[in-house]
Structure 1
């Protein structure tokens, strides 16, 4: 009986949320309660600063903890050579998300969540773009709304980010971006399987995401597009491949395009 219940749970989880496991953004849904996910992401880009010609790279290990059905935590770190000549430890961050609204029906739901993120980075302040995934020390807070309808999931995020670099508190601070608004719009579609017969079936999802930022002090912006594909194996393992490229910007950026590869494994009920 326990095996049957577990299979039903995994099948439901795969059907209900597979196409909203976005590659570059978080949905309003959480990691399943009492579960842990381990994830490793690799990001590759063409270096644009002097002395970094060729491919630069960043690796990001992450651990997700589903403390309840409504609350999850994520701890992560980065190792990279995107800002320095040597490949070394770069940053650490802690992220929390609380789902405060759920309207669930058969094969559809609407959910909203609030999140907060804090990061400490050793990377030098080189670029206009504000990102807490290794580049800057700072804090971010925002709201996510996700709508699932059958095999299509659409999600939007709005957040405010503050850079807490020590240069901001100098008597004569430099003309650098220290605060910004982030916007994203993500869509995911479950392409295969056409019909579920077993929870061990491999899922194939396709994604398109729009990622944008507007700094509030220096008035600079970027808009990126990030298509991607995803495979889910045995309802507990996820392989992602995404390509992010710039649509428009007036920022001094680390890269105008990048490739991201990641693998994630979820351990259900271990907490």
Structure 2
């Protein structure tokens, strides 16, 4: 009974935000206050490892904590064989997001948030692409803006990332990228249900995301596209499937395309 009442209270929130639960990026909205979400993501690609090409994989367990309606934390780690022949622990990271602007109306809202991320990785520094999800030790900070209009949600993210690898602080640092700007544009649309009648209805969302990066020291770039689909079950569980592929780049990258599968379960009121 307690769970049912909680879902009834949260249903208007989940209705309006379902289509902005993006697969590859974060929206300006947070998970519900006093709630916890557990997520497991799997990433598969045909990548370079040494001189050979083959299937590489990475698994990322994450824990989200909604400390208030405006502030959330995320702790995560990665296990992979993307940089080594052995599958093993790769990295740990801590992410925080603060929503500082909310303009909410019926069937629409505009929100902005600031975020910071820090990661420690055991992976070797091999590729130009700067990503804190397992690949690099570093820090990132940025701003997110998300606009929801009925069943369409569009979000943009701009962030600055710094690599803190030990090679950067040597007397003769290598000619590697240590800082970059990220530019992300995400769109999500709620296809089903056409009309909400019960919190147990399955949601079906479709997404398209543009992910771009420009390094500031070596002046290299990439632009990727990432379409995906999402199912939300019982208003508390999400199943995501996305395919990311390169549109253009002059970087030395591990892979030009990858598939991501993830599942997330939210525990409302757990805190």
| CA–CA distance in structure 2, aligned partners of residues 81 and 14 of structure 1 | 36
Please say if residues 103 and 109 of structure 1, whose CA atoms lie closer than 8 Å, have aligned partners that are also in contact. Answer: yes
Aligned to 1:270: 270
Please say if residues 210 and 224 of structure 1, whose CA atoms lie closer than 8 Å, have aligned partners that are also in contact. Answer: yes
| CA–CA distance in structure 2, aligned partners of residues 209 and 52 of structure 1 | 30
Aligned to 2:118: 118
Query: How many residues are paired up?
Result: 271
Aligned to 1:44: 44
- Aligned in 2, Cα 1:80/1:102: closer, same or farther, shift over 3 Å? same
| CA–CA distance in structure 2, aligned partners of residues 9 and 212 of structure 1 | 38
| CA–CA distance in structure 1, aligned partners of residues 194 and 103 of structure 2 | 25
Q: Deviations over 1:171-211 (max 9, x none)?
A: 00000000000000000000000001101000000000000
1:60-71 matched pairs, under 5 angstroms: 60-71=60-71
Q: Deviations over 1:127-172 (max 9, x none)?
A: 0000000000000000000000000000000000000000000000
The range that moved more, 62-71 or 1-10, is 1-10
Q: Which runs of 5+ in 1 are unaligned?
A: none
Aligned to 1:83: 83
Aligned to 1:27: 27
Please say if residues 49 and 82 of structure 2, whose CA atoms lie closer than 8 Å, have aligned partners that are also in contact. Answer: no
Q: Deviations over 1:56-107 (max 9, x none)?
A: 0000000000000000000000000000110000000000000000000111
Aligned to 1:145: 145
Aligned to 1:158: 158
Aligned to 1:99: 99
Compute the displacement of 1:227 (Å): 0.1
Aligned to 1:248: 248
Compute the displacement of 1:11 (Å): 1.6
Please say if residues 30 and 69 of structure 2, whose CA atoms lie closer than 8 Å, have aligned partners that are also in contact. Answer: yes
| CA–CA distance in structure 1, aligned partners of residues 39 and 132 of structure 2 | 17
Q: Give SS of 1:48's match.
A: strand
| CA–CA distance in structure 1, aligned partners of residues 97 and 4 of structure 2 | 30
Q: Which runs of 5+ in 2 are unaligned?
A: none
TM-score using structure 1 length: 0.98
Root-mean-square deviation (Å)? 1.1
| CA–CA distance in structure 2, aligned partners of residues 67 and 173 of structure 1 | 41
Q: Give SS of 2:53's match.
A: coil
Q: Give SS of 2:17's match.
A: helix
Compute the displacement of 1:235 (Å): 0.3
Aligned to 1:174: 174
